[in-house]
Amino acid sequence: MRFREPAALAWQSPVEVVCPRCGSRATVRENDVGYRLTCTRCPLAVDGGSERHVLVDGRLVVLQWKHGAWHDPAVDRYVSVFRAREGEEPVFGLPLWLRTECCGGHLLWANNEEHLGYIESYVGATLRESVGLSTVLPTWMKLAKNREDILRSLHRLRTTLAPG
């Protein structure tokens, strides 16, 4: 089987997360004004977008959008370099629904079903293009010895997306 990089980052949205109210699967979707968090089970529906729960120099901060830039209110300064916490949705700061430990403590995560399928086809492929997105996947995902463990974990995650 030959693996081909997808043309678009379709799997960056929506993002499946853990509902902060009931613990069921909730979904974060981008809309015209920001992001909306809705739960698949309880009535929770929250709008957001002006905050980012991220790491700045290894420190967890909640940045706020202010005067056209990201501002860290804790230290009152503007921040341009930050990154998402692994396995977490940055707008609402919630754990991803599709995440699990595998291969001896590595965190395996996906934003949504399409993303899951992307990792699945990458890990399952025997021939890979050396360009594109796969260059950003961590090395442990590319090791043949981890393949079975990863595919098994992905399969288990996929079953948690079943309705109901």
Give the footprint of Zn ion on this chain (CB under 5 A).
19, 21-22, 24, 39, 42, 44
Report the run of H or E that residue 95 belongs to, with start and end: strand 94-95
State in angstroms the smallest separation of the CB of 3 from Zn ion: 36
CB of 28 to Zn ion, least distance (A): 13
Separation of alpha carbons 89 and 132, rounded Å: 23
62: nearest Cα among 48, 77, 76, 52: 52
Q: Copy the structure tokens of residue 120.
A: 């699945």
Cis peptide before 14 (omega within 30 of 0): yes
Exposed / middle / buried, residue 127 (Cβ in 10 Å: 0-12, 13-18, 19+): exposed
Question: Could you tell me the smallest distance in angstroms from the CB atom of residue 94 to Zn ion?
Answer: 11
Residue among 21 and 29 whose Cβ is closer to Zn ion: 21
Residue with smaller CB distance to Zn ion, 21 or 152: 21
Q: How far is the CB of 45 from Zn ion (least distance, A)?
A: 10
Nearer to Zn ion, 19 or 154 (CB): 19
Nearer to Zn ion, 48 or 117 (CB): 48
Q: For residues 65 and 71, is the Cβ–Cβ distance under 8 A? A: yes
